[in-house]
Amino acid sequence: MSEPEVLCRIEGRVGRITLNRPQALHALTTRMCRDITDALLGWKDDPAVELVLLDHSGERGFCAGGDIRMLAESGQGDGSAAREFFFTEYRLNELLFRYPKTTVAIMDGVTMGGGVGLSRPCRFRVATERTTFAMPETGIGLFPDVGGGWYLSRMPDHIGLWLALTGARIKAADCELIGVATDYVESAKVAELKAGILADPSGAETLLTELEGDAGRPPIAAHQDEIARLFSGDSVEAIVAALEGAGTEWAAEQLKILRTKSPQTMKVAFRQLRLGARCATFAENMAMEYRIGARVVQKHDFIEGVRAVIVEKDNAPRWNPASLEGVTEAMLDEIFAPLPADQEWSPLP
């Protein structure tokens, strides 16, 4: 018998969820999302569970995202398995967002895509020197989902839009600066942190303060004014023009990165963050993201992005449309349009 891909159990007064798919960097499957949801629902009103702890087995990272290969294979067919995954995952994201008990996520290592969807709603989000955060979806023709429209649009100085468009990878100090992480603890002390939480969940906040380390100076701080200025445009084309005219090495590097991304996906992400910023509830944002996901997963750019970056690894995707100008408002309207009533996403009751 192979081990379950996620381990859900009660230890003392703690509901503990351990991602257990190390060979795939704990990439989420529909079954994993369902199992985590079932555990959370079971503990929600259980007086024996005081706190929920999310962590991972092995050394390599918390969670690299969703099962991209499965999504692409489904997208090449009727897309039903991909839609089922998004529907289930987004319900889990929204459940965590409004969960009534204290939640702690240990983001020790890679935390991307679906891993952000699990960790970002938690009350305490612990980064270590091994943490690498990113929303790299524009590089494979997808979009920064799992609540990206809500979280990224609410970051200061257009940093969320910069992260969404470029897929930039950031470390612990930057994660603290922009609110992705609430605490920094050295990885050597993570075992002590977990043991302390399991022994006394009510003292979690005090323990985090005691074990808090210094993540150092956040590199983003050196470019924060530049990001605020250059990523403030009212379209992706305006941002590109601002970068072209900036005349700095950093701006030139961002421009080079953007030119490797899917033009369609960049415009999708731009509109997603604009709309997400105006959503009154997290559930409203997730309904929007489900509409996008249900359609984008069957688009050429996603199938092609996965081929180029994940399957054949030639890193030479042929995007269609190939330019920002080729991505029309009508194309975007179709991606964002409401689904038939019986196909719309809804949160768990």
**Catalytic site residues?**
66, 114, 137, 145
Q: How far is CA 192 from CA 56, 198, 211, 237, 344, in A?
A: 15, 10, 9, 49, 44
Strands 61-63 and 14-19, sheet pairing? unpaired
CA gap 330, 12 in Å, rounded: 55
**Exposed e or buried b per residue across 56-83, where buried means at least 16 C-beta atoms within 10 angstroms of its C-beta:** beeebbbbbbbbbeebbebbeeebebbb
CA gap 26, 60 in Å, rounded: 9
Residues forming beta bridges with residue 61, ordered by sequence position: 110
User: Please, are residues 101 and 49 in contact by the beta-carbon 8 Å criterion?
Assistant: yes
User: Please, are residues 295 and 334 in contact by the beta-carbon 8 Å criterion?
Assistant: yes
